[in-house]
Amino acid sequence: MKLDVVLGLQWGDEGKGKIVDVLASEYPVVARFQGGPNAGHSIHFEGKKFVLHSVPSGVFRDGSINFIGSGVVLDPVIFREECLAIEAMGVPVKERVVIADRAHLILPTHRIIDAASEAAKGKSKIGSTLKGIGPTYMDKTGRNGLRVGDILTPDFKERFLKLKNKHIAYLKQYDFEYDASENEQAWLDAVEYMKQFEIVDGAYRVNDYLIGGKSILAEGAQGTLLDVDFGSYPFVTSSSTSCAGACTGLGVSPHSIGKVYGVFKAYCTRVGSGPFPTELFDETGEQLRQKGFEFGATTGRPRRTGWLDLPALKYAVMIDGVDELIMMKADVLDGFDTIKVAVSYEVGGKQTDEIPYDVYAEVKPVYREFKGWKCDLTKVKSEDQMPSEFKEYIKFIEDYLKVPVRIISLGPDRDQTIVRN
Ligand code: GDP
Ligand code: IMO
Ligand code: MG
């Protein structure tokens, strides 16, 4: 059996949650492999909306296994809150969620360090979600972190206090007010709650699923342009958001990877700081934000908006080895007379279709214009109902990226999804 991967190809919030929920009916196991509660994955079905942060987006499918892999960082308080809300919807969450013992724990003091570090950076802040993601991965690679498996050891509380004290010493460099014990009891209570879940050796379990004939859908968080190695560093997250992250985050070999699905919006958004060549600061940008409801699912921050950036998308397709594209939210472009797409950049007086190393470089997009389709795509149920202008838009993207658009999402609901042959 193979492990197929769903990845965001832009700066996150492409609609991965919706697509994983749709595809999950075909996969017995859905697995998160990186990131943590910086993610906000929205799912709409039967008139309900739910935003998932730590739990994989297959959880609403009967009989599903939702695996939280070794590469994930988990905040027990957020995890408990999320699980209780899912349970309140009648979903047997404890039967459906399995956690890898090697996943790292986000401590309350990791969140304080995140906030102190951002405050100290001032104008050059990353725009982090303030969930403690960066500091937790720092402790992981610095070999100081606490892992989910540690909660089952008798000296866990001492190890927790030791790390907390290390954080207090580290925080001395910042002029930042905080209460290191705030939320501590809630955190320890939530750790107790986590013990009710199945906690396993992640690599053995995931490989056993595959050997036992269970196909797995790996659910990426964030997007390739936020990857710690290949994104717009330092304006990135702290994990490997690209396809390779599925191997390191789950403990599977590259041979196990089957299909790679790349999810992108028909335009672009970004939340937080960093380069965004096609960003719009005008009325059109505001229209995209309002029509697309572009406000962060985790932080509520307004998302920056702009036209589709094909050189950036081509870069992500290359890094991830995308087999099939999934295009989201084209319905948001319904009302526009003209739709623009960046096909190359002008950097330092030269034309290029490559992303520059320097995140502060002035990048001027070169656009190609398309005639808008000016009709309501949310009502479209099959390919033959699509207006010719929309088909032309899709064809251009496919030709540019040399990858087929296999699925088209035309609304937030499960049912507003067209699978092409
Ligand atoms: P994720 O982080 O990649 O899962 O994406 P988010 O959930 O953060 O943001 C995507 C937003 O777009 C959510 O509010 C979705 O409900 C919504 N959405 C998903 N697909 C579509 C679509 O095709 N059309 C419209 N209008 N909204 C969509
Ligand atoms: P999903 O999975 C969009 C952004 C933050 C910030 C940068 C670093 O919903 O697509 P972090 O908290 O990770 O240290 O923040 O990354 N970011 C996201 N942007 N969607 C996300 O997740 C994101 N997770 C982090 O805004 O710019
Ligand atoms: Mg999101």
What's the pLDDT at 298?
Answer: 81
Size of the chain, expressed as the number of residues it contains: 421
What is the number of the ligand closest to the CA of 263?
A: 1
Q: Is residue 61 packed enough to be buried (19+ CB in 10 Å), middle (13-18) or exposed (0-12)?
A: buried
Sign for the CA dihedral angle at 313, 57, 48, 300 comes to negative
Furthest-apart CA atoms within the chain: distance in Å: 66
| The pLDDT of residue 364 | 98
Give the distance (Å) from ligand 2 centre to CA of residue 233: 13
Q: pTM higher than 0.85 for the full model? A: yes
Which atom of ligand 2 lies at the shortest distance from residue 271's CA?
26
Ligand nearest to the CA of 18: 1
Residue 15: the pLDDT is 98
At 303 the pLDDT is 96
Can you tell me whether residue 86 is helix, strand or coil? Answer: helix
d(CA 29, CA 216): 5
For ligand 3, the distance from its centroid to the CA atom of residue 38, given in whole angstroms, is: 8
Q: How much is the pLDDT for 358?
A: 95
Report d(CA 350, CA 371) in Å as an integer. Answer: 28
- Decide whether any atom of ligand 2 lies within 6 Å of the 302 Cβ: no
User: Cβ(113)–Cβ(171) under 8 Å?
Assistant: yes
Residues designated catalytic: 13, 41
Report pLDDT for 314: 98
The pLDDT assigned to 274 comes to: 97
Query: Per residue of the chain (421 residues), what is the pLDDT tens digit?
Result: 899 999 999 999 999 999 999 999 999 999 999 999 999 999 999 999 999 999 999 999 999 999 999 999 999 999 999 999 999 999 999 999 999 999 999 999 999 999 999 999 999 999 999 999 999 999 999 999 999 999 999 999 999 999 999 999 999 999 999 999 999 999 999 999 999 999 999 999 999 999 999 999 999 999 999 999 999 999 999 999 999 999 999 999 999 999 999 999 999 999 999 999 999 999 999 999 999 999 988 888 999 999 999 999 999 999 999 999 999 999 999 999 999 999 999 999 999 999 999 999 999 999 999 999 999 999 999 999 999 999 999 999 999 999 999 999 999 999 999 999 8
Nearest CA to ligand 1 atom 8: 13
Distance in Å, CA 42 to ligand 2 centroid = 14
Q: Is the minimum distance from the CB of 42 to ligand 2 under 6 angstroms?
A: no
Ligand 1 pocket list (CB less than 6 A): 8, 12-18, 40-42, 44, 293, 297, 328-329, 331-332, 409-412
Q: Please identify, by atom number, the ligand 1 atom nearest to the C-alpha of residue 223.
A: 3
| Ligand 2 touching residue 227 (CB < 6 A) | no
**pLDDT for residue 402:** 98
For the CA of 12, the nearest atom of ligand 2: 10
Q: Give the Å distance between the CA of 237 and the centre of ligand 3.
A: 13
Nearest CA to ligand 1 atom 16: 412
Per-residue confidence (pLDDT) for residue 145, from 0 to 100: 98
What is the predicted pLDDT for the residue at 187?
98
Residue 268: is it exposed, middle or buried by C-beta count within 10 angstroms (0-12/13-18/19+)?
Answer: buried
